[in-house]
Amino acid sequence: MKIIFLDFDGVITIPPKWHFDNDKIKYIKKIVDETNAKIVVSSSWRRKTINETIEKIKKWNYKYTKSKLFDWFINNLYDVTPWISDNKYSGTGRGGEIQTWLDDHPDVDNYVIIDDDSDMLDSQLYHFVETNYEDGITEVEAHRAIKILNKVKIINPMAINFELRYQYLLKINKLPNKYDELKKYDMNDHY
């Protein structure tokens, strides 16, 4: 089973209105269509269960987003991550919550995390696609997510996202001019 851990704000809800954007949902649908992945909500919009989460989404956003695409999105939400990480991941933020969910679901073959925040575990960085909160998910991030889920070999994994490149530079002790160093990895699509 393939999983998309999906944040909402900064991914499919963007400023200034912060309601679900059909253009952004189209990218999630494209990812699901091309990978057969299931959507697990990791957003702060989630509640304790998927049904409670769906009810909240409908209550707050249905008046803004009435479309077949929005209905598709609601009908394709699979589960939610827990709010509190397992003790071994205590204090690790969203990454710990995602890892707790993964530990409870050994049938997961592959996953991608789509989020505008970077509080992920080191072991999750190759599965992480970072978005810009003002733009939300774009075609570029959707393409990366598809490649990750379909296990397409990445020629230059450091080009995946800023956080992964930053962590790499931390490990090789090359941070004095971090933005100049990061530019070396900012090449076009490397898939």
Look at residue 56 in the predicted model and tell me its pLDDT: 87
Look at residue 50 in the predicted model and tell me its pLDDT: 96
Residue 155, judged by CB atoms within 10 A of its CB (0-12, 13-18, 19+), counts as exposed
Tens-place pLDDT, residues 109-161: 999 999 998 888 888 988 999 999 899 999 999 999 999 999 886 555 545 56
**Greatest mean pLDDT among 2-6, 9-13, 157-161:** 2-6
Task: Quickly tell me which residue has 């001019």 as its tokens.
Answer: 177
Calpha distance 39→74 (Å, rounded): 10
Look at residue 187 in the predicted model and tell me its pLDDT: 39
Say which residue, 4 or 17, is predicted with more confidence: 4
Q: What's the rounded mean pLDDT across residues 12-16?
A: 90
The yes-or-no verdict on residue 11 having pLDDT over 90 is: yes
Q: How far is CA 108 from CA 82, 92, 124, in A?
A: 16, 21, 14
Calpha distance 32→69 (Å, rounded): 13
Look at residue 172 in the predicted model and tell me its pLDDT: 60
Q: What's the rounded mean pLDDT across residues 17-21?
A: 85
Look at residue 139 in the predicted model and tell me its pLDDT: 93
Could you give the domains of the chain? 2-152 (3.40.50), 155-191 (no CATH)
Look at residue 175 in the predicted model and tell me its pLDDT: 53
Instruction: Specify the DSSP element, H or E, that contains 144.
Output: helix 139-149
Average pLDDT value over all residues in the chain: 82
The yes-or-no verdict on residue 178 having pLDDT over 50 is: no
Q: Is the peptide bond before 16 cis (omega within 30 degrees of 0)?
A: yes
